[in-house]
Amino acid sequence: MAEGDTPAWRLLRGLRAYRAAYESQAEALSFEEGTGFPVRIQSEADLAARDPWRIEAWESPFARDGPASPFLAGEAMLEAEGSATARPLLPFLAAMGARIDGLRLLDGSLIVKIERDGRAAQVRVTRDGPLLAGGGFRLCRDYEPEEVPQEMARLTALWSVSGGPGPRQGWVRWARNGNC
């Protein structure tokens, strides 16, 4: 097992049933070109990983230098859109020692996973062109008042993964009432 694995991934990758399923289902990986970080393209075979494993794509349980966690399916995550006017967030996170990976889902949306020290946070990104061109995130979501604590916890998780200081002006922008 890799030293920086999240507890959930450590458990999943150790299961014989997952290892057997991976060996029978996984196929060669394909990646998007021209991105500043690896963006894997989800395959039809990856869909079989959703049930019962609750992941968006197969990850090798045998890899020693792989990710700290797989892309989790159904995981409540921050929602954002790429922004050419926001400061470049991903280079900042990478400079803080975070690993950045992307997964292009079959529906065209992009999940960005940020990992550091056995912790992981995922962000679903729409309008990802500005982000892939070196821009930042603009967090956008209509939410009910009772959802605010959950959204703040997700944002806090993102920053805890970065290992850096809290969000600074311009790196993350909150939009309210659908003003994305």
In the chain, where the domains are located? 7-175
C-alpha 98/C-alpha 124 separation (Å) is: 17
The pLDDT value recorded for residue 39 is 95
C-alpha 105/C-alpha 112 separation (Å) is: 11
pTM for the model stands at: 0.80
The pLDDT value recorded for residue 116 is 84
Half-sphere exposure of 76 (CA within 13 A, CB side): 10
Question: Cis omega before residue 130 (within 30°)?
Answer: no
Question: CA torsion sign, 46 to 51 to 53 to 55?
Answer: positive
The pLDDT value recorded for residue 106 is 96
Residues of the chain with pLDDT under 70: 1-4, 75, 140-180
Helix axis angle, 7-14 to 16-25, nearest 10°? 80
In eight-state DSSP terms, residue 25 is H
C-alpha 157/C-alpha 69 separation (Å) is: 15
The pLDDT value recorded for residue 171 is 46
